[in-house]
Structure 1
Amino acid sequence: MTTPAPVHEATAGRSTAPVRLSGVAMMLTSALSNQLGAATGALAFGSIGPAGVVAVRQWVAAVVLVAVGRPRVRTFTWRQWWPVLSLAVVFATMNLTLYTAIDRVGLGLAVTLEFLGPLSVALATSRRAVDLVCALVAGSAVLVLLRPKPTADYLGLGLGLTAAACWAAYILLNRLIGARLPGAQGSGAAAVLSGLLYVPVGVLVFARHTPSPRALGCAAAAGVLSSAVPFLVDMLALRKVPTQIFGVFMSAHPVMAALVGWIILGQRLPVVDWLAIAAIVAANSATAIATATAPRRQR
């Protein structure tokens, strides 16, 4: 999702402790909501499959983001349109590959693999020694997660890595769009286009599998919990915490996904996978903290 510009934390004379605590609570709420949404959507896989769930989620996201962004598409130039079109394709591909990976390898593992996208972007833009160490740690953890075993679903693992590549592209395109379009206009336009791409997909899926009210409800809840709530909560959180700290708490997503997958979907991970997830989370946290402290050291 688009990251709005941070706002100064507190006015003069006001204690910043409550502000920071509320910001932390918002970030954890956003991560939990995102993964609860994915788990809720997974409950409908048996009825309409990942493609059907993603179609409904994209439609819900389109309604929310177009209401927030209010894109003035008639004023867009080609220089603004091409990254928006690219983002729409990336957005659609990212969610489909992620949800299909969740169906095949489980929520915790799929989200951890997808999380490599933003981590790779952060590591690729730095030349610090600590980031090289973090890259080696994360790379080793990925090898552990992808290790050959009798029950390995390599297609599911590959789809998780594809979702990671899409998330990396999503971040880079959002940065470009943010520089060329005001507010959330670009995200709103991309969400609408992505939703339109899923109209024929939804028609095909629902023609073959008549959706039950429960399945539609789960898919719609996935759209609200994984798109609407995180988008709005993250905007509020970034008014209370620096963007670097926000980056640290992105690490909560794989952990939340593994816990939610275990509690709601009954997807248990072996201890070695938990250790690999912890290593990736630690690598991201170290990278974000190093980024946050680097300017101070240069002064």
Structure 2
Amino acid sequence: MGTSVGVQRQRRAGLPGWSVPLVFIVSGVSLYAGAAIGVRLFDTVEPATVAWLRAAAAGVALLIWRRPWRSRWTRRAVLVASGFGVVTLGMNIAFYEAIARIPLGTAVAIEFLGPIAVAALGSRRARDLLAVALVAAGVFLLAGVSSEAGPGGVGFAVLAGVLWAGYILLGKRVADTGSGMDALAIGTTVSAIALAPILVTRQCVLAPAVFADPRTWLLGVGVGVLSSAVPYALDQVVLRRVGRARFALLLALLPATAAVIGAVALAQRPGAAELAGIGLVMAALSISAGQRDPRVPATDSGA
């Protein structure tokens, strides 16, 4: 449910090496703090509507930041960016539907099935098969043992992982166009506009009064800024400093970060089985990072 960046290989001065993990953790805290705000909205707003509010707020912020209209766009580039945006919003909808039903840390760990699978399918090395086995065992502990992980929430988390995999593959096409963050700005905006008739109409049928409540829009903007705009900017700084390989290793911090945010902000304290499952997923991410970043240039670290 959503940190996207344009990757540059050159290292730039100005960010001390020791501070890189701290900046990445701040990015992860912002990402999942936004998700925690989204959970607070679920009492009055449908999870899919919260995902739409995130996309709309992020689209406006990215348009102001990137000003993609300054570049020349071909029809194909616009279509690819738009498809990328729709898949991203779909991934975030599935993620929010998951965290409406199961703990945040559990959902984040389960959705890493997607990038791990993409990394493993692109390699025949034993270490990648080991990573798949570890993440499968971790997901079993999270979904098969935890009493809080109901089938609906687990299903949506798995769907988020599948969409994340598709998002990675489509993101490669976006990266190949060289548009990067500008494509994300276009795609996020187009997806928010394209899906508004469906998602907003559904919310209006179920509970139209929420759109008259300033709190809905204020928290919606907070979700968009914290879960999208801030992590995008911070991850761009980190990637410019360390490159893809180490960034992939840093991804292993995200499930733990989500679990901490869930415990602090939402009182979702994981048990022994959940902690073991999250640990196995983190180990799988660390192993798969030895090959390459399971994301691609100009992609998001998940929902």
TM-score (norm 2): 0.86
> Aligned partners of 1:245 and 1:195: how far apart in 2?
32
Q: Give ranges in structure 1 of 5+ residues lacking alignment.
A: 293-299
Stretch deviating more after TM superposition (208-217 or 67-76): 67-76
Q: Which moved more, 1:221-230 or 1:125-134?
A: 125-134
Match for residue 258 of structure 1?
259
Matching residue's letter, 1:202 = V
Distance change >3 Å, CA 79–CA 278, structure 1 → 2: same
Matched, 1:248 2:245: no
The 3-state SS of whatever aligns with 1:126 is: coil
1:52 maps to 2:49: yes
User: What amino acid is the match of 1:215?
Assistant: T
**Equivalent in 193, 196, 199 of residue 196 of structure 1:** 193
Rounded to whole Å, the distance in 1 between the matches of 2:61 and 2:166 is 22
TM-score, normalised with respect to structure 1: 0.87
Q: Does 1:269 align with 2:270?
A: yes
Number of aligned positions between the proteins: 287
Mapped contact 2:33–2:226 kept (Cα < 8 A): yes
Q: Which amino acid aligns with 1:87?
A: F
> SS where residue 240 of structure 2 aligns?
coil
Distance 1:95 1:49 in 2: 13
Contact 1:66 1:191 in 2 (8 A): no
**Structure 2 counterpart of 1:210, one-letter code:** A
Match of 1:210 in 2: 209
Amino acid corresponding to residue 119 of structure 2 in structure 1 = A
Pick closer, same or farther for the CA change 1:141–1:185 going to 2, 3 Å.
same
- Please show how residues 85-96 of structure 1 align to structure 2 within 5 Å: 85-96=82-93
Residue 158 in structure 1 maps to residue 155 in structure 2:
yes
Contact 2:103 2:148 in 1 (8 A): no
Higher alpha-carbon deviation: 265-274 or 275-284: 265-274
1:75 deviation in Å?
Answer: 4.8
Match of 2:232 in 1: 231
Q: For residues 148 and 238 of structure 1, do their structure 2 counterparts lie closer, same or farther at Cα, with a shift above 3 Å needed? A: closer
| Structure 1 equivalent of residue 11 of structure 2 | 9
Alpha carbons of structure 1 residues 110 and 49: separation in structure 2 relative to 1, 3 Å: same
Q: Provide the aligned C-alpha RMSD in A.
A: 2.3
- Alignment partners' CA distance in 2, 1:7 and 1:219: 34
Instruction: Tell me how far 1:184 sits from its aligned partner.
Output: 2.1
The CA deviation at 1:112 is 1.2
Q: Which one-letter code corresponds to 1:255 in the other structure?
A: A
**Correspondence for 2:34:** 37
Q: Report if the CA contact (8 A) 2:5-2:233 is conserved.
A: no
- Quote the offset at 1:151 in angstroms: 5.5
Query: What displacement does 1:291 show?
Result: 4.5
CA distance in 2, matches of 1:179, 1:291: 17
After TM superposition, give the deviation of residue 181 of structure 1 in Å. 4.0
One-letter amino acid of the structure 2 residue matched with residue 194 of structure 1? S
Instruction: Report percent identity of matched pairs.
Output: 30
Partner of 1:297: none
- Give 5+ residue unaligned stretches, structure 2: 294-303
Q: Deviations over 1:190-239 (max 9, x none)?
A: 11111113422235425624223333322221111000000011111112
Secondary structure at 2:153 match in 1: helix
Shift of residue 269 of structure 1? 2.0
